[in-house]
Chains A and B, each alone.
Chain A
Amino acid sequence: MVAYVCAGCGLGDTLDLKQTEKVAQKEGKMQAVKRHDFLCSAEGVQMIQGDIDNDGVTHVMIAACSRRAKTEAFNFPGVAMSRANLREGVLWVVAEGGDHDEVRQEMADDYVRMSCAELKRMKVPAGNPDADTSKRILVVGGGVTGLTAAIEAAETGYDVVLVEKTAALGGWAAKLWKRVPFRQPYADPQPTGVAELIARVVGNSRITVHLNSTIAETAGAPGRFKIKVAQESGAITEETVGAIVQASGFNTYDMAKLPELGGGKPNVVDQAGLETLAVSANGGAIKRADGREVKSVVFVQCAGQRDEEGASGGVHLPYCSGHCCATSIKQAMYFKDANPEVDTVVMFTDLRVPGMAEDFYRSAQQKGVTFTKGKASKVESTDAGCQVHFRDLILDEDASIGADLVVLATGQVPNSGVNIELVEEAEGEKKGAPEAEAAVKPISILNLTYRQGKDLPQLKHGLNDSHFICFPYETRRTGIYAAGPVRRPMDMLQATDDATGATLKAVQAVENAAVGRAAHPRSGDLSYPIVRLEGCTQCKRCTVECPFGAIDEDEKRFPVFNQARCRRCGTCMGACPVRVISFENYSVDTVGMQIKAVDMPDEFSERPRILILACENDAYPALDMAGLSRTEYSAFVRVIPVRCLGSVNTIWVTDALNSGYDGVMMMGCKKGDDYQCHFVKGSELAHYRMSKTDDTLKQLGLEKERVMSFEVAITDSQKVAALINDYAAKIKEIGMSPLKGF
């Protein structure tokens, strides 16, 4: 156990490093303490590496810059390492000048004490012993997304098992006459290319295709998923795979739910229905079901979509499916290209053509497609066809238009399987509410044997994702990635991109699982949760609170940790009331001892101590950035980075208050619907747990302001300094903690 103290970056000039070294030796009980003027230089790093190689050093304490800086220089695999943040955490944030020498030195010494205490409790992580090495990838769904995923994975060098429910590959795309263009000049519909894609998949020796098949059971974890593929005939094939791409696609919103727009009436079709007519026309004049040639057609956009909660809304899909405007433009061109004399009207409220489809829109205008800004209210059947009643939104008047055929742009409904949250609710109510049971009715896609439910958790509107922007594809089930319209409504081009992205994620998962490492977001982390089962009280909080469904239960109701499914956030560790869950290099002890290592001035010193538990993903970088921009904040704070606020065990807060801290600040990511927590539920759980500490505070005779939670984003470097200073002022106001010196 050796401490290395850096004197570079002005640390040696401003701090009394002799004193710091003495602290590391005497109080930190380091076996040796070495100083270097420029520790991250090749020479400094060589000094440390030399000690590791020659003197058998296994534990390294570096007192220099933030743990987030110089990570490439200070990279010593195989040893335990802790870092005292003297640069960003002390030198750059404490006011300059001799007046502040004393508090600055106290802060630096405390950080060294804390790092030494942490280091003593750390072990070198050995990696998940339960790792298995299947690198095959299961693709669920044989539409464009699934086919692309399969071909991408196969061409990257991974074996693929492709399971398709129907008798043919191609999905919806195979039923299209043509697709929206994705190449220059974006002017005309293009061939779908699905037949070629299918041929590539079928002809690829790495890909095994199961048609007429569903997933009867999915068990295991990344690297060792055991899949039961059920044939229509009832035969079961077992497959072992390392990761799963769920591309179960979408269904169209049922027209029958839109009777006012003519759903179910003759001569009213949805976009899928029009594709069928176009395919049978085979490039010629498009005919209606009754065989009459269509001379005029009206496309009603947003039919049953963007129906937000309101006076009369909230009945249909609340979201925009994204592809329908471009699809209607494409379909209007089917008519115009066959016969320019056909009247084609696209009735829109907001025409949304993402990507390069703006050029496509212009092309349709050139071809004479009429775009009418209006909202359809009613579609009636007439002798000739249909009459569409609508509000013209530009001329602000009611109008109507006759047409031989009406096409409703109804949008996509994801095939996301069972909503596991509704299942929980239904079970909670003892199978009471009939609505809840009806909503549960959908058939499971994956049939997971996970304790947390059969399918992927849904983010909103039944879509399988965990965050549309920050972590696309990464569902809350490690090793299972959602791609295509099941994740977010989209068109073929986006689905192709999605498939590629999800496949890369699956590759990342199998490769990491094979060597027992975490996949993401703590990519490459070798630590994993270790549980002392003899102390477990079977309270089930870890199994319930794990955001990723990593923990099952055995027959005796003890938790069973699936390390390969774990993302190493430590939420289970924060949840455990008897504190039997820990990681080799991150545990209740490593943080607890840091809290206790701080030198606590007495009640009359007027030097309060504020503990900050900062999420290492956003809050800690924000603090570092405050340092980087030399934003000053109170020198009375002591910051401990945590993996996620969800890993904060309430014992730390209790310990901190008992050992005399005057206040505790918890800094985590934004929670709620637009959450930014890297572990989805961590900061939310932490806030919930902390809301329960008020009673504890009361028992201790403390003000409730002594423990407070804050949301800090990574960009909040200025805000975080202000939060600290405001809080320090508040602590000064309510006075020092009476619990010092016990």
Chain B
Amino acid sequence: MSESNKAANTVAAAAVARYRNNFLKEVEERVEDGDMVKMCMQCGVCAGSCPLGPHWEHSPQKIFMMIRAGKRDEVLSSDSMWMCTSCYNCIVRCPRQLPITHIMHGLAHYANRLGMVPKGQPTRDIAKLFWDNLLKTGRVNELKFSLAMYFKDGFVQGIKNALAMQGIGLSLMKAKRLSPMEIIGGHKCKDQSGIQKMIAKAREIEDRRRGALA
């Protein structure tokens, strides 16, 4: 987390009072499509439509109510938005046309930026590994990505994972879908530093727009 984000987090957290509009306003300003949260009419159709509904800590209906109730920590550390599979059932059915799926991703992204995601959240972990992998060369290195996944819980577990996946790995190699040579360097895009500059700029713009640097 950047220093500025940390500061913003502290300021916002201090200002949040229960059942006030503070956190709702924060969400409106900083979360993608967050300005639609206030239009929820609490009918619960999203909660009933979600195929993963019973496996979440909070349904979208509850998440929206918690935002209005000012439950900042509970919302941002919830696993709910990480469980969304983007099936879009809720968007299709919402009578108020809330882009619920997008809001879920927006909340996940915001929670990640603030570093409030619970430790070991698997969706967040895989996304992070994927993102870091991609950012290095501008291309996804499948071999390194797989290895990073295997070893994310330590060396011994990594060996176990690798052995368990041995058959699949060999088949992929046979089918020329996976090259062992990728371990050294691997394929990359032409202008690596250009990509990284681009991403940095995009982040800067986003931070500015979301008010994180304000």
A interface with B by C-beta (< 8 Å): 296, 343, 345, 351, 361-362, 365-366, 368, 370-373, 392, 394-395, 399-401
Contact assessment for A370 and B19 in the assembled complex, using a CB-CB cutoff below 8 Å: yes
Q: Are B38 and A399 in contact (CB under 8 A)?
A: no
Contact B65 A366 (CB under 8 A): no
Query: Are B62 and A399 closer than 8 Å at their CB atoms?
Result: no
Q: Which residues of B contact A361 (CB under 8 A)?
A: 41
Question: Chain A residues near B61 (CB, 8 Å)?
Answer: 394
Besides A368-B24, A392-B65, 16 more A-B contacts (Cβ < 8 Å) are A296-B20, A343-B21, A362-B96, A365-B39, A365-B41, A370-B38, A371-B42, A372-B65, A373-B65, A392-B69, A394-B61, A395-B66, A399-B19, A399-B69, A400-B18, A401-B18
CB <8 Å contact, B65 and A370: no
Give B residues with C-beta under 8 Å from A: 18-21, 24, 38-39, 41-42, 61-62, 65-66, 68-69, 96
Binding site of A, secondary structure by majority: helix, strand, loop or mixed? strand
Of chain A, the residue at the smallest CB distance from B58 is A395
On chain B, the residues within 8 Å of A370 by CB distance are 19, 21, 24, 38, 68
Q: Which residue of B lies closest to A344 (CB)?
A: B21
CB pair A394–B20 under 8 Å, yes or no, is no
Using known A-B contacts A394-B62, A394-B65, determine if residue A368 contacts B38 with beta carbons closer than 8 Å: yes
- If A366-B39, A371-B41, A373-B42 touch, whether A401 touches B19 (CB-CB below 8 Å) is yes
Partner of A343, one of B20, B41, B65: B20
Residues of A within 8 A of B65 (CB): 372-373, 392, 394-395
Contacts of B19 in A (CB 8 A): 345, 370, 372, 399, 401
Which residues of the partner chain B approach A373 to less than 8 Å between Cβ atoms?
42, 65
* B residues in contact with A362, CB < 8 Å: 39, 96
Q: Give min CB distance, A364 to chain B, whole Å.
A: 10
B38 to chain A: which residues have CB within 8 Å? Answer: 365-366, 368, 370
A368 near B41 with CB under 8 A, answer no
CB pairs A–B below 8 angstroms (15 shown): A343-B21, A362-B96, A366-B39, A368-B21, A370-B38, A372-B19, A372-B65, A372-B68, A372-B69, A394-B62, A394-B65, A395-B62, A395-B65, A395-B66, A399-B18
Q: In the complex, which residue of chain A has the Cβ closest to the Cβ of B37?
A: A365
Find the B residue at minimum CB distance from A369.
B38
- Nearest CB of A to B69, in Å: 7
Residues of A within 8 A of B24 (CB): 368, 370
Q: How far is the CA of A399 from the CA of B68 in the complex (A)?
A: 13
Residues of B within 8 A of A351 (CB): 41
Leading 5 A-B pairs by shortest Cβ distance: A394-B65, A401-B19, A365-B39, A373-B42, A365-B38
Please, which residues of chain A bring their CB within 8 A of the CB of B96? 362
CB proximity of B76 to chain A, nearest CB, Å: 16
Most B CB contacts (10 A, CB to CB) among A365, A392, A394, A401 go to A394
Cβ-closest chain A residue relative to B39:
A365
Residue in chain A with minimal CB distance to B65: A394
- Smallest CB-CB separation from A392: which chain B residue? B69
Q: In the complex the two chains form, what is the Cα distance from A351 to B43 in whole Å?
A: 10
What is the bound-complex CA distance between A392 and B38, given in angstroms? Answer: 17
Say how far B181's CB is from chain A's closest CB, in angstroms.
Answer: 54
Chain A residues lying within 8 Å of B20, measured Cβ to Cβ, are: 296, 343
A84: shortest Cβ distance to chain B, in Å?
57
Measured between C-beta atoms, what is the minimum distance from B14 to chain A in Å?
A: 17
